[in-house]
């Protein structure tokens, strides 16, 4: 049976990386989703969007998240969809 090693520094570093990644993803999703609603329904009608405008906003948000992940791979860590360093 392999030996298990506990390294408190690794746990803290992993938790910090997770926190930065989660914060970045949450903030970027909110920004992209708000932009999607503004584009799909228009800023004046964003609280009275139709079903199809809502679906378009969801598609725009998904596309924005995809582009952000691709940019993160191009400009950040190659094996991460995060722009945060060390994630």
Per-residue pLDDT at 63 exceeds 80 = yes
Q: What's the pTM?
A: 0.56
31-42 tens-digit pLDDT: 888 777 777 777
Report DSSP letters for the chain, one per residue. Answer: -PPP---HHHHHHHHHHHHHHHHHHHHHHHHHHHHHHHHHH-GGGTTS--HHHHHHHHHHHHHHHHHHHHHHHHHS-TT-S--STT-
């Amino acid at each position: 049976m392999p030996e298990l090693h506990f390294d408190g520094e690794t746990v803290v570093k992993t938790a910090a990386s997770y926190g930065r990644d989660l914060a970045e993803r949450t903030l970027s999703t909110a920004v992209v989703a708000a932009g999607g609603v503004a584009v799909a329904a228009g800023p004046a009608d964003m609280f009275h969007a139709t079903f199809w405008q809502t679906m378009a906003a969801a598609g725009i948000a998904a596309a924005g998240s995809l582009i952000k992940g691709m940019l993160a791979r191009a400009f950040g860590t190659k094996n991460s969809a995060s722009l945060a360093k060390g994630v």
